[in-house]
């Protein structure tokens, strides 16, 4: 087998490893998000909940509670609660604001919530599963989010690469999502090894 063939095989194996590791890391962050807590507001009376062996509730309309995201998701699906506005970082309004800021300042790394991508992923899944009962405004919300999310990801990607290349990761990490922090660390480490080997 020729050297060029061995190089191609090694490169292919490396790419597959990185793809597999990336998928596992992103799935782990999504699981962390589902177990993370935030505040929801009950839209109507709700019975007592048993979560992790703890009894919570019953809840009155307008009452707020800090609950795991997997519980909130079920409450939202059944129309019993909605996410409190201050915690609704994946809302269309917040996404529009992020989109506008990214357009205005394409070279500035603005602060994203650590769980933003995971929350957007769950919201899109929830909206798409609910298509049968949705009104036209929901379809419009899906379409707008589907247009904005790739733009945000691509804009952020170029910024993350710049941060990794500059070595400014530690001072910028608090502005990144969990997925971006992981990616930035991986790129920074790869670049560090690459530079060292090239300059030997």
Tens of pLDDT along 128-171?
A: 876 666 667 777 888 888 989 999 999 999 999 999 999 888 89
Work out whether the CA dihedral 161, 163, 164, 170 comes out positive or negative: negative
Does the residue 19 lie in any domain? no
Residue 107 has pLDDT above 90, yes or no: no
Question: What is the total count of domains within the chain?
Answer: 2
- Residue range 16-33: average pLDDT? 84
Residue 7 has pLDDT above 70, yes or no: no
The pTM (predicted TM-score) of the whole model is 0.84
d(CA 43, CA 61) in angstroms, rounded, equals 5
pLDDT digit string (tens) for 67-86?
999 999 999 988 899 999 99
d(CA 36, CA 115) in angstroms, rounded, equals 9
Q: Which domain holds residue 171?
A: 89-200
Q: Is 33 exposed, middle or buried (0-12, 13-18, 19+ CB in 10 A)?
A: buried
Q: Would you call 29 helix, strand, or coil by DSSP?
A: helix
Does the residue 28 lie in any domain? no
Does the residue 44 lie in any domain? yes
Same domain, 55 and 70: yes
pLDDT digit string (tens) for 91-106?
999 999 998 998 888 8
Residue 15 has pLDDT above 80, yes or no: no
């Amino acid at each position: 087998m020729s050297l060029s063939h061995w190089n191609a095989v090694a490169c292919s194996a490396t790419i597959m490893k990185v793809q597999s590791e990336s998928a596992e890391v992103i799935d782990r962050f999504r699981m962390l998000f589902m177990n993370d807590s935030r505040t929801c507001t009950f839209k109507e009376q709700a019975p007592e909940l048993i979560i992790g062996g703890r009894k919570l509730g019953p809840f009155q309309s307008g009452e707020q509670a800090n609950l795991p995201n997997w519980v909130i998701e079920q409450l939202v699906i059944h129309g019993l609660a909605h996410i409190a506005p201050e915690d609704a970082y994946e809302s269309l309004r917040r996404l529009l604001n992020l989109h506008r800021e990214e357009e205005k300042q394409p070279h500035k790394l603005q602060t994203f919530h650590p769980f933003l991508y995971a929350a957007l992923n769950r919201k899109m899944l929830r909206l798409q599963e609910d298509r049968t009962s949705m009104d036209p405004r929901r379809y419009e919300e899906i379409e707008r989010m589907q247009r904005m999310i790739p733009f945000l990801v691509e804009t952020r990607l170029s910024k993350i690469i710049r941060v990794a290349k500059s070595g400014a990761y530690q001072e910028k990490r608090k502005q990144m999502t969990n997925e971006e922090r992981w990616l930035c660390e991986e790129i920074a480490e790869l670049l560090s090894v690459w530079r060292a080997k090239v300059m030997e």
